[in-house]
Structure 1
Amino acid sequence: MHDLLIEGGHVVTATWSGDADIAVTDGRVTAIGSNLGPATRRLDARDRIVMPGGVDTHCHVEQISGAGLMNADTFETATRSALHGGTTTIVSFAAQHPGKRLRTVVDDYQALAARGALIDHAFHMIVSDISGENLTQDLPALIAEGHRSIKIFTTYDKVRLADEAILDVLWSAREHGALVCFHAENDGLIRWMTRRLLDSGRTEARFHPLSHPRAAEVEALGRMCLFAEFTGQPIMLFHISTREGAEVVRTAQARGVPVVAETCPHYLFMQEDALKLPGSAAAGLICSPPQRRADDQQALWDALDTGVLQVVSSDHAPYRLDSTGKFAHGPDAPFNRIANGMPGLELRLPLMFDAMVSQGRLGAQKFVDLTATAPAALFGLATKGRIEPGFDADIVLWDPSRRVTFGADDLHDATGYNPYAGRTVTGWPDTVLSRGDVVLAQGQLDALPGRGKRLAMARSGAMEPVADAPATRLDG
């Protein structure tokens, strides 16, 4: 006797699609096919596309920024929003600031998530201070406990690491089995452009894209690829935004560098012209790297198609449009004093479903791969991202015909605005299951804070170092 049968749907995974029923017992998929036998409960999936729940591996939740500003979402509000958008697993950040013990930071974030998260979750460790026992004791111990993802910034005053420290972290990750992720932009180029813009009176939010020149991304991506090549340590490059950036990744991969990379919906669906608004009106669209041009969008889609980019994440970074968030330094603050980031957890899958499934760009199976299967596999989330026997029954029933036009403030996070207001998408997550529980149905949430579980990352193939890298030849 199965606990649950999901019947009559059109099932789509990263590798196949077809009409099938899905049996679930003890929160996991046990069988896929027809005539699967009796079940305690049945869920009608006729006229629905049945897909794995989304896995969003780039979310800033209940996090203090490098500038000391708490973002808008708690784990409860962020994961509530995730469910409304069809995402059933997130990887957020445990953000270390200089002077903090890494162990304490991770424990504190885990406690916040244990109290509030509605869905399963894991953490990237933001490493900004390798002094004391952070590198020698805390980092290896935390990796052994399943925190196998490390985030490094090459820019921003409070969190960036210098090159020598980056190499130390890469070497520790190599020794202990972790993936190192990068926000890779050249700090000097950003500082220089920001100073020139401010000195010339170009202080409004619409000038933010100019302060993050394309060269800043290209140089830092290339440097991190060289570091990965030298150490043999696998890396992931976050939020690729330019065609040149995608080309850096492609050429590095072609010469055998262990590098994977992602992009985000705001680079695929939004251009820098969207910020050409007077005064502070563009503040809600400020993010880093910034939005780029139409030819960059085409290059990113091409890179997703060819496998140069493996993941589409949200980079959910929510700040309210008030004194607690974007305008913490006043409504007329210059662009460099406006918090970077936009809400995206709830928007990622509907935007991508509309483009990839409803409009047919790259197709439904590729949609599943980019938004669920590949991110789960890369980060060692061993029971997530697939509809297969033995995997968690994190499943979404999509209504492929439902059309939704985004409103000004219709998201379920705590941000208070929708950066895609006025945009219409076709296809909507109608019913969402997490470990076999129906946690969302027809817009009604049925999940309590704290039901989400912390996931330990297994060591994945993406974390395996190159054996004979130049840095290993210390006696050469």
Structure 2
Amino acid sequence: MSHDLMIRGGRVITADGQFTADIAVSAGRITAIGHGLGMATETIDATGLMVTPGGVDPHCHIEQMSGMGLMNADTFETATRSAAMGGTTSVISFAAQGKGQRLSEAVADYAARATRGAAIDHAFHLIVADSAAPDLEADLHSLIAAGHRSIKVFTTYNIGLGDAEILRVLRIARTAGALTCIHAENDAIIAETRTRLLAKGRTRPIDHAASRPRAAEIEAVARMCRLAELAQAPVMIFHVSTQEAAAEIRAARARGAPVWAETCPHYLFQTEDILDKPGIEGAKWMCSPPQRTARDQAALWQALALGDLQVVSSDHAPYRFDDTGKLSAGPDAPFPAIANGMPGLELRQPLMFEAMVSRRRLGPESFVALTATLPARLYGLDRKGDIAPGMDADLVLWDPTREVTYGANDLHDNVGYNPAEGTTVRGWPVRTILRGRTIMQDGTYLGQPGTGDWIARPRIGTHPTAITGVPT
């Protein structure tokens, strides 16, 4: 047989195991795995390298207006370039509804931006920020039927929905066959705490951590789990940061509640101390929920091992550290006036590879499960996240011996700083392949804007309690 591409002799890593084999690719899909597979137009020697599925990052803010009225630093062109450099081949970003705006109009505008700029494959979460907007229910049903199978709601910020509104969204999502993703923090707790801190003159970035107390997350996560259980509508709890919130999710899943959950590298590798820098420097690491404690880190790792948390996403939320982004309210802005979020698309895979593969925390199979296979399954990306015949040939070749120390501004996004500066990782992506085509090789970006495909997703129906854990 003759194939378009043959990747020979790599150590293939899947969520189910690892083995040395050749991978044959034709027409952008994997056609065979094994030995003696015949000839190919192009051959890649992967001897000594690990081959994993392309990363699936299901939580990325790209070319999106924030609630503070700031546009993210990244366009689809710069964000997907950065993703490819870090070994990610599929992203799910956010089509954000404005107040009074029809959701269908928001999605059409957002899709046009992605079509122009995206160099990797992509899907969208539908942000419902105004439940009173015209024709919301009709738009939700039609957009979900068209393949937009996930919705995002907030319980806080100026776009937060009340419990009755969230229940309405959950029931629509259940009927239409969609997953509802939730930013779960108690808005009243945050508002009261912030007011008290500001009255005491506590305005620095480190005070941001105190302004969003762990109780705000714990209460809201528990409440959202109960709403999901009542509606029997599947939900994904975003960016879990505390030990107690992870315990609430474990208890809900034990009751049979249709709940999944994710965490992010900044909660696994950073604590709130990172915000305590001279002047306003700590603003670079401000995010919501904030980083917590070493105890919480240990609990989150345990929750990943137990399967209470099924996904590690980047929550890429890029703002430059200047007057266009973090410092838009001035160089001495109080923490409530500083944009929340940091870049993570390019960092997620190498940081997790270092921890899980190089340092053997949970292992290579779990690395693939948490960063590719489970995100693809849970969000309905049927041809992504695995290495098997018939799957898209989205592959990453890793040099497990290469060590890299991150510098101050060496990412390929449009942010201008690296929140992992000074961190050394062992294990490095040396080639990223999207549907059989190399888009990054040895640190050189080869992708092209507009060549990424939108991913239409089928009805999401897998019950989350069917996924009990990750391979160890």
Superposition TM-score, scaled by structure 2 size: 0.97
2:388 is paired with a residue of what secondary structure?
Answer: coil
1:61-460 matches, cutoff 5 A: 61-157=62-158, 159-460=159-460
Using the TM superposition, give the Cα deviation of residue 465 of structure 1 relative to its aligned residue in structure 2, in angstroms. Answer: 12
Give the distance between the partners of 1:421 and 1:461, measured in 2 at CA.
41
- The one-character-per-residue Cα deviations of 1:228-287 (angstroms, maximum 9, x if unpaired) are 011111100000000001000000000010000000000000001111123211000000
1:181 is paired with a residue of what secondary structure?
Answer: strand
Unaligned runs of 5+ in 1: 467-476
2:219 is paired with a residue of what secondary structure?
Answer: helix
Is 2:30 aligned against 1:29? yes
Give the distance between the partners of 2:89 and 2:350, measured in 1 at CA.
14
Using the TM superposition, give the Cα deviation of residue 322 of structure 1 relative to its aligned residue in structure 2, in angstroms. Answer: 0.4
Q: How many residues align?
A: 465
Using the TM superposition, give the Cα deviation of residue 461 of structure 1 relative to its aligned residue in structure 2, in angstroms. Answer: 3.1
Give the distance between the partners of 2:447 and 2:100, measured in 1 at CA.
37
Confirm or deny: 8 A CA contact 1:234 1:465 kept in the other structure.
no
Letter matched to residue 276 of structure 2:
K
Give the distance between the partners of 1:217 and 1:367, measured in 2 at CA.
26
Using the TM superposition, give the Cα deviation of residue 329 of structure 1 relative to its aligned residue in structure 2, in angstroms. Answer: 0.6
Confirm or deny: 8 A CA contact 1:329 1:338 kept in the other structure.
yes
Confirm or deny: 8 A CA contact 1:14 1:368 kept in the other structure.
yes
Instruction: Name the counterpart of 2:470.
Output: none
Unaligned runs of 5+ in 2: 467-472
Letter matched to residue 125 of structure 1:
L
Instruction: Name the counterpart of 1:46.
Output: 47
Task: Flag the 1:372–1:74 CA change in 2: closer, same or farther, 3 A.
Answer: same
Instruction: Name the counterpart of 1:470.
Output: none
Give the distance between the partners of 1:452 and 1:2, measured in 2 at CA.
23
Letter matched to residue 346 of structure 2:
E
- The one-character-per-residue Cα deviations of 1:114-146 (angstroms, maximum 9, x if unpaired) are 000000000001101122444321110000001
2:98 is paired with a residue of what secondary structure?
Answer: coil
Instruction: Name the counterpart of 1:11.
Output: 12
Letter matched to residue 50 of structure 2:
I
Give the distance between the partners of 2:146 and 2:461, measured in 1 at CA.
18
Confirm or deny: 8 A CA contact 2:3 2:39 kept in the other structure.
yes
- The one-character-per-residue Cα deviations of 1:89-131 (angstroms, maximum 9, x if unpaired) are 0000001121111000001110000000000000001101122
Confirm or deny: 8 A CA contact 2:101 2:133 kept in the other structure.
no
- The one-character-per-residue Cα deviations of 1:416-458 (angstroms, maximum 9, x if unpaired) are 0001100100000001100000111101111110000000111
Give the distance between the partners of 1:465 and 1:176, measured in 2 at CA.
20
Which has the higher mean CA deviation after the structures are superposed, 133-142 or 248-257?
Answer: 133-142
Confirm or deny: 8 A CA contact 1:135 1:172 kept in the other structure.
no
Task: Flag the 1:292–1:247 CA change in 2: closer, same or farther, 3 A.
Answer: same
2:281 is paired with a residue of what secondary structure?
Answer: coil
2:233 is paired with a residue of what secondary structure?
Answer: coil
Give the distance between the partners of 1:175 and 1:112, measured in 2 at CA.
30
Using the TM superposition, give the Cα deviation of residue 38 of structure 1 relative to its aligned residue in structure 2, in angstroms. Answer: 1.3
Confirm or deny: 8 A CA contact 2:92 2:124 kept in the other structure.
yes
Instruction: Name the counterpart of 1:474.
Output: none
Give the distance between the partners of 1:353 and 1:219, measured in 2 at CA.
32
Give the distance between the partners of 1:149 and 1:359, measured in 2 at CA.
34
Confirm or deny: 8 A CA contact 1:326 1:339 kept in the other structure.
yes
Give the distance between the partners of 1:119 and 1:14, measured in 2 at CA.
22
1:10 is paired with a residue of what secondary structure?
Answer: strand
Confirm or deny: 8 A CA contact 1:409 1:418 kept in the other structure.
yes
Confirm or deny: 8 A CA contact 2:57 2:314 kept in the other structure.
yes
Give the distance between the partners of 1:358 and 1:53, measured in 2 at CA.
18
Instruction: Name the counterpart of 1:56.
Output: 57
Name the Cα RMSD after superposition.
1.2
- The one-character-per-residue Cα deviations of 1:359-396 (angstroms, maximum 9, x if unpaired) are 00000000000000000000000100011000000000
Which has the higher mean CA deviation after the structures are superposed, 225-234 or 126-135?
Answer: 126-135
Give the distance between the partners of 1:48 and 1:448, measured in 2 at CA.
26
Confirm or deny: 8 A CA contact 2:177 2:461 kept in the other structure.
no
Task: Flag the 1:142–1:91 CA change in 2: closer, same or farther, 3 A.
Answer: same
Using the TM superposition, give the Cα deviation of residue 410 of structure 1 relative to its aligned residue in structure 2, in angstroms. Answer: 0.5
Give the distance between the partners of 2:151 and 2:439, measured in 1 at CA.
31
1:322 is paired with a residue of what secondary structure?
Answer: coil
Runs of 4+ in 1 over 6 A off after TM superposition: 463-466
Give the distance between the partners of 2:463 and 2:333, measured in 1 at CA.
42
Confirm or deny: 8 A CA contact 1:178 1:463 kept in the other structure.
no
